[in-house]
Structure 1
Amino acid sequence: MNALVIYESMWGNTRAVAEAVARGVGPGVRAIDVGDAPAILPRDVDLLVIGGPTHAFSMSRESTRQDAVQRGAPPGHEHGGIREWLDGQAPADHVDVATFDTRVAKVRKLPGSAAKSAAKSVRRHRLGRLVGSESFYVDDMEGPLLDGELDRARAWGAELARGHPEGRASAR
C-alpha cells in the first residue's frame, strides 16, 4: 500500500496532527504540506489522508486564510488550501480516502468542520472511497493541541492502515 498524507496548517497544529497520523499509518510515510503536494493525485496512491483546520465551520477559504494571517499566522497559504487541492482532482476509484481537521475544543458540538466538508468534496469529486473522518482539538485558534491529541492521531493513522487490505503503508 502506498499512502499519502496531505495537510494545510496555519498555526502548526494541523501539521503536527498530520505528522502523527503519518507515523501511525506506517514507517517512512510523510506528511506533505498542500503547497508541496502533487497537483494531481498519483495513480499509485491507494490511501490518501487529507486534513486542514476548521475555518468558519468548513474548510478554509482564501478570505479565512488571509484573516488568520492578519491575526498572526505565518503567511504563505493564503491562496491555496485543501479545498482548492480537492477541487483540482479527477475522479478515482482506486484510492481509500480519510479526512481530518483541527478545531477549537470549546465549539465541539457545532455541526460544521473541515473534515466533514472535505469528505463531502471527496464524494462530490468521486475521489475514491471515504474510509474515515476525524476531528482533533486545539485549546484556542492558535492552539495548542489538547493533551493526548497527537497520541490519538497516531492511533487513528494505525487504524486506517489496519483497515486497508494491504496492512501498513509504505512511504510515498
Structure 2
Amino acid sequence: MSTLVLFDSNFGNTRKIAETVAAELGNDATATPLAGLGQGGLEGVDLLVVGSPINAWKPTPRTQEFLDGLGEGSLRGVRAAAFDTRVRLFIHGDAAAKISHALEKAGARIVARPRGFIVEGREGPLAAGEVEGATAWARSIAVAAQGSGPSGTDVTD
C-alpha cells in the first residue's frame, strides 16, 4: 500500500506529528510537506493523511489551496485521514474536520476520525503525550485501512 502523509507546518510541530504517523504506518509511508508536492504527487497513493496547524479557525492557506485543488472524485479509491495541531489554552477551530470533509468530498474513504494534537503555546513544543498519541492514532489508521473493504466507510476512533 502506497502511503503519503502530507502536511504544512509553521514551527515544526505538525511536521513532527506527520513524521511520527508516517513512521508508524510503515516503510512505504513518506511524510512530505505540501510545498514539496509535485505535479502528479498523488498518483498511486492508496492511503493519504493530511495535517495542518489551525490558522484563523481553519487549515493554513497552503493546505486550503491544496484541498480546493482536489477535483470531485479525484480521490476515489483512496483511504484518508486528517489531523491538525492546536494551542491548548485557545482551541480555535477544527482544521482536521475541515480537511477530512474536503478529502471525503474529493471521493476519499475516511478511515479515522479527525484528530487534533495539542501544542504548548503558539510555537510549541507539542504537549506531553502527543507524540505517543500520534503513534496510537496511526496504528488505528493502519488497522482500519487494511480492514476496510471495497464498500462502505470504516471510521475508527
Aligned length: 145
Question: For residues 95-138 of structure 1, what are the alpha-carbon distances to aligned partners after superposition, in whole Å with 9 as ceiling and x for unaligned?
Answer: 01100000001134x5x2110111222233x2311222100000
In the alignment, which residue of structure 1 is the partner of 2:13? Answer: 13
Q: Structure 1 counterpart of 2:123, which letter?
A: E
RCO (CA 8 Å, sep 6+): is it higher in 1 or 2? 1
Q: Structure 1 counterpart of 2:83, which letter?
A: F
Question: For residues 26-71 of structure 1, what are the alpha-carbon distances to aligned partners after superposition, in whole Å with 9 as ceiling and x for unaligned?
Answer: 135221000011344533211000000001211123xxxxxxxxxx
Q: Does 1:130 align with 2:113?
A: no
Q: After TM superposition, list the pairs within 5 Å mapping 1:87-126 onto structure 2.
A: 87-90=68-71, 91=73, 92-108=75-91, 112-124=93-105, 126=106
SS of 2:110 mapped into structure 1? strand
In the alignment, which residue of structure 2 is the partner of 1:3? Answer: 3
Q: After TM superposition, list the pairs within 5 Å mapping 1:21-170 onto structure 2.
A: 21-61=21-61, 81-90=62-71, 91=73, 92-108=75-91, 112-124=93-105, 126-132=106-112, 133-165=114-146
Q: TM-score, normalised by structure 1?
A: 0.77
Alpha-carbon distance in 2 for matches of 1:7, 1:136: 13
Alpha-carbon distance in 2 for matches of 1:120, 1:24: 24
SS of 2:85 mapped into structure 1? strand
Unaligned runs of 5+ in 2: 149-157
Alpha-carbon distance in 2 for matches of 1:113, 1:145: 17
Larger mean Cα displacement after TM superposition, 33-42 or 152-161: 33-42
Contact 2:11/2:123 (CA < 8 Å) preserved in 1? yes
Contact 1:99/1:118 (CA < 8 Å) preserved in 2? yes
Q: TM-score, normalised by structure 2?
A: 0.84
RMSD (Å), alpha carbons = 1.8
Q: Structure 2 counterpart of 1:42, which letter?
A: L
SS of 2:103 mapped into structure 1? helix
SS of 1:30 mapped into structure 2? strand
Q: Structure 2 counterpart of 1:147, which letter?
A: A
Contact 1:99/1:119 (CA < 8 Å) preserved in 2? yes
Unaligned runs of 5+ in 1: 62-80, 168-172
Contact 1:39/1:88 (CA < 8 Å) preserved in 2? no
